[in-house]
Chains A and B, each alone.
Chain A
Amino acid sequence: MSLALIAALPFLGALLPGIMIRAGRNTCALATGSVTALALIGLLLHAPAVLQGEVIQTQITWMPLLGLNANFFLDGLGLLFAGLILGIGLLIITYARFYLAKSDPMGQFYTYLLLFQGAMVGIVLSDNILLLLIFWELTSLSSFLLIGYWRHLPEGRQGARMALAVTGMGGLALIGGMLILGHIVGSYELTVILENRELIQQSDLYAPALLLILLGAFTKSAQFPFHFWLPHAMAAPTPVSAYLHSATMVKAGLFLMARLWPVLSGTDLWFWLVAGAGLITMVMGAVIALFKDDLKGLLAFSTVSHLGLITMLLGIGTDVAAVVAVFHIINHATFKAALFMTAGIIDHEAHTRDIKRLGGLRTLMPVTFVLATVASLSMAGIPPLNGFLSKEMMLEQAADVGFFFGLMVTIGAMFSVAYSLRYIVHVFLGPKRDDYPAKPHDPGFGMWVSPALLVVLVVLIGLFPNTIVGPLVATTGGAVIGSTDLPYYSLALWHGFNIALLMSVAAVALGYLVLRFHPLFEELWNDARRPEAKEIFDALIDLCARGADRVTNLLHDGAMTRYLAIFTASAVLFGFAAFMGGTHGSGTRETLPMSVVPIIGWLLIITATIVTLMVHRNRLLSLVMVAVIGLIISIGFAYLSAPDLALTQLSVEVVTVILLLLALHYLPKETPVESTPGRRIRDGAIAGFAGLGVTGLLYAIMTRDHDTISWFHLEQSYPGGGGTNVVNVILVDFRGFDTFGEIIVLGVAALGIYAIIDAALRGPASRRLANFKPDFRRAGDRHPMMMVVATRVILPVALTVGVFIFLRGHNEPGGGFIAGLVVSIALLMQYMASGFTWAQKRQRFDYHAIIAAGIIIAALTGVGSWFYDAPFLSSAFDYYTIPPLSEFELASAIAFDVGVFLTVVGSVMLALAELSRIGRHTSVSVNKDAMDIDPRADTPAAKVEGH
């Protein structure tokens, strides 16, 4: 199976759970599981080759100019991580099926989980570091969704926010670091980067690159001083904690360090930063874990501690230490995921995770007891379990570094033993209690099978390390150190009497003693003054938020005048500065003589502008003046031989004025005086300078000859696009992609109006609207017969005009956009004449659907060209003859234009519909008949109905 497909499968599969949940929870889990299983099988098919030392590659060119290609490669390290992600993922999916309550939206959960899984698989398989960065950010986002899955819990939301803030910040740093790395090497391909150790380490940019990359890795893997987000992320459902926070996401940072280990490690800076942070994290995490009463809190800090341990091993920088790190990654993933799942089981059955309220569960939950005990002992490093193997090797490596390292690591191991034993002793042993919040008992098979499988692995790896994981460790270790020449190490339980064994025995013995005297230590711990990471973080975030608020409010306080003034003033200043900074010669082009018509238009537009300024407090009048300006501009377009623009401007003007008038109905008709004379002078000065500046610019452009690309469009319009109307060919063909984007924007804007009004009608605005009193006395006969009849007569004519303009658009002025506006106006007139309620009853298609249909038709037209091996939105045209008709042209662009047409109609009508919704929220009556006074009625009196 192609590597790209393996990475894409979870993303594609993420569509399934949402659909399958309708068929029940089992089907949903099964569908999700089969997606993961399929990807896992695809991966395992590559396993034999990879274990032989081959590197599998899939290359897809995406954006070669940016250096961004969808290149994937699979070596030992990738295989290990992808195997962990998909394998444990499968177990988690099974576990989650039984863990989630009936009220939890399971489809959503599995969708998030698959998105996350895809992002993780993407990280570990990426060959291109830019692609890796994309997946990296996706893990941050999808983990945010997963941590905040129980959105009704404030801890869940806060924890999700904190995780996103910390890992997102790290992600930004990582982007910088990776870009520097790519810059040093001159390639964004990992396989190339990994071969340039010398080049990278001798570069001046090595230190900043390393710092930024480590910032990304440390935040993701919760290394000191960024360790604090992980325990707060424990507000997530337990399957998420078991998956993200033991086996996968927090290991992404480790993966990155391991991946780049061949080129980044070995320097002093690397040693001090990585081994130092790892050591501190390991010891500190272990100490805090011992004093956590929350089961998941304990496990979270123990994870922090173990991640620190692995980081430290990678930081030591010797080949053996790197191999040990790989081995411990495997072991930690197995026992920690199992432990998290048992914690989830206890929470699920006993309804509490507080160690202080538990104890004596041994006989009540025998299966869980066995599983938790084996996994805990492995975490403590007790033989013959797998945790013992890697811990021994780790102790030996640490002891080799120096006495201080050895001592600190032994202390860390001691606390590790203590909290592991605490998980057994304080939860399962001891007397049975009678005050559990619920009656604890073992869960069903479905819930304990996943941890049980992992526990079996824990034991098997411990007993037969070489058989089970020997080849994997060798291949992965080789991939990490970047050579096939592996150092000597031995995966075995018994290495003889050596310093590591001594340290191990000391840690276990002391750890047991620490647990014996736990109450004493706990008292000391609780009395000590400790900095609370969450408070510091909150204060920091608060500070940032307030600072950002202050800056934002300075520039943009919600008053349009403020930011228009700032924007215009800075544009003027920069323009002026640019002008003064360069040289200037006057234009050489001859100016044209003035003729009468433009002067009249010019005078009209100036008059209208001045009048707008004078009457701007009367909103209706100023709207009329603005419309006058718009009309003169469209006449200007017509005069300058741009009939398409003139038609568009004219119809846009009509639609805008009508919609503005309707909106104005619910707003005050006068603008209150808010500005002081000083401010008016300031604003006048800014506007004046800006106007003069634009005039100067236009004058400069018009008095010069310059090259444009118009000749290309004019030349190619007919042979290339099959149309003689160059404007339309540009819109639907040459720049079709722009138009496609624009109609999407238009549709989104219309939906935005819908969303805003929909939300507003539920809030306090709704109550204000209910008490709405029109400013003017309302007229009777709101829908006069004359208007009704006139619009009915015009409707077919207007629709015909719309169709005509649409059809001829490709060769003569017209096209989908204008036709859409014309038809909208024709429909708007019906609504105006007979009222919205009446017209709405005769409207059969939903406006949302019309917008969607428009965009889909446009998109399908574009996709259609793929079937002819042409790029998106290539257009084709040909000439046909059907006997009675003369020869005519069919262009694929016309289908695209249909999409434009529908989107325009839908958007305009949706805006209208929303305005009328405001109207129907007021207590003002609506009509049901076509007209208020119907001459057919017997009584000629006003015939109006209320609500």
Chain B
Amino acid sequence: MSIIGEIIISVLLVGAGFFGLVGSFGLLKLDQPMTRLHAPTKATTLGVGGVLIASMLFFLFFAEGITFHELMITLFLFVTAPVVAHFIAKAHLHRNWKPEDLPSPEGSTRWSTYCEPDQPGSGKPDSTEP
């Protein structure tokens, strides 16, 4: 039993380390901010997730029993990571792109981040400065 557990945990840790490395490498390698945004997601989901599962199994097999700390960490990661990514993308679009250089979203709508907050429904996207 213990040897099987050790193997599973080891595999998870090595896999997690691999994805962490890939994520970090991607962060350096990719040149566009929008594509770069993809790299750390591997590190947070697969990388950190692997470590957390390994930690849960470790405590299950070799220590006092099942623990929930890791589940909490997972929950917080799942909640915060998308919000952070959303804001990074939003800030990037807002500061570095013009609406006309982007493909339009489906239907008659505009990208929400280009709406002028002070003049609702003015109909045309604002394009004064990047």
Contacts and interface: CB of A to CB of B under 8 A. Distances in A.
A941 interface: yes
A795 to B, nearest CB: 11
A778 B117 contact: yes
A944 B122 CA distance: 11
Nearest to A833: B83
Interface stretch (A82-90, A536-544, A642-650, A784-792): A784-792
B29 interface: no
B83 A780 contact: no
B112 A942 contact: yes
A932 B113 CA distance: 10
Nearest to A783: B117
Contact of A780 (B87, B116, B128, B129): B116
A946 interface: yes
A794 B112 contact: no
A777 interface: yes
A933 interface: yes
Interface string B94-130: 1100000000000101101111111011000010110
Interface string A763-800: 00000000000001111111010110010011000000
A779 B83 contact: no
A784 B114 CA distance: 13
A780 B121 contact: no
B1 interface: no
A945 B120 contact: yes
B128 A777 contact: yes
A787 B83 contact: yes
Interface in A258-293: none
Interface residues of A, number: 24
Contacts of A794: 79
A778 B86 contact: no
A940 interface: yes
A735 interface: no
A19 interface: no
A924 interface: yes
A946 B112 CA distance: 17
Interface in A105-152: none
B80 interface: yes
A946 B118 contact: yes
Given A790-B80, A793-B79, A794-B79, A780 B114 contact: yes
A925 interface: yes
B33 interface: no
B90 A784 contact: yes
A943 interface: yes
Listed residue (B83, B117, B121, B129) with the most chain A CB atoms within 10 angstroms of its CB: B117
A14 B5 CA distance: 79
B125 to A, nearest CB: 9
A654 to B, nearest CB: 13
A784 B120 contact: no
B66 to A, nearest CB: 20
Contact of A782 (B79, B114, B117): B117
A777 B94 contact: yes
A943 B115 CA distance: 10
A781 B116 CA distance: 9
B40 to A, nearest CB: 17
Given A777-B128, A784-B90, A946-B120, A790 B79 contact: yes
B13 to A, nearest CB: 19
Given A777-B126, A794-B79, 14 more contacts: A776-B94, A777-B94, A778-B116, A778-B117, A779-B94, A779-B113, A780-B115, A780-B117, A790-B82, A924-B118, A940-B109, A941-B109, A944-B118, A944-B120
12 contacts: A776-B94, A778-B116, A781-B115, A786-B86, A787-B83, A787-B86, A787-B87, A932-B112, A942-B110, A944-B115, A944-B117, A945-B120
3 smallest CB-CB distances across A and B, nearest first, come from A780-B115, A781-B112, A942-B115
